[in-house]
Amino acid sequence: MKSIYLILSSVSLLTLASCSNSSPTDSDLNPVIADKNYPSAFQYKTSKNQVISPYRPYNVIDVKGMKPGHLSRDPSTAKKDKAGKPIPSTAKIFRIPEFKN
């Protein structure tokens, strides 16, 4: 009986919480996005899925599914381990730009 009561009270609290007017913004979910210290990439031609990295060798990077303002990494700037494989966490970070038509 206690388990049913706990389940019903949990469901009712979740229902009330989902009815609130406040919704988290991107900067609430990821505090790194609020930090503006990362350089912005450049739009590649008129594509909204590709950008030019702000780091040498200025590769074109696919950012499909990412929104302007989000952060991404340039895999070509990653350091390599002893076996020669890139270490993704060492790749330089850049910001996705606002896309123009």
Rounded distance, CA 44 to CA 28, Å? 29
pLDDT, residue 7, reads: 63
**Rounded CA gap, 99 and 95, in Å?**
12
pLDDT in tens, 49-90: 999 999 999 999 999 999 998 999 999 999 999 999 999 999
Residue 74 tokens, joined: 């340039």
Q: What is the pLDDT of residues 19-46, one digit of tens each?
A: 555 555 544 455 555 566 899 999 999 8
CA distance 58 to 74: 9
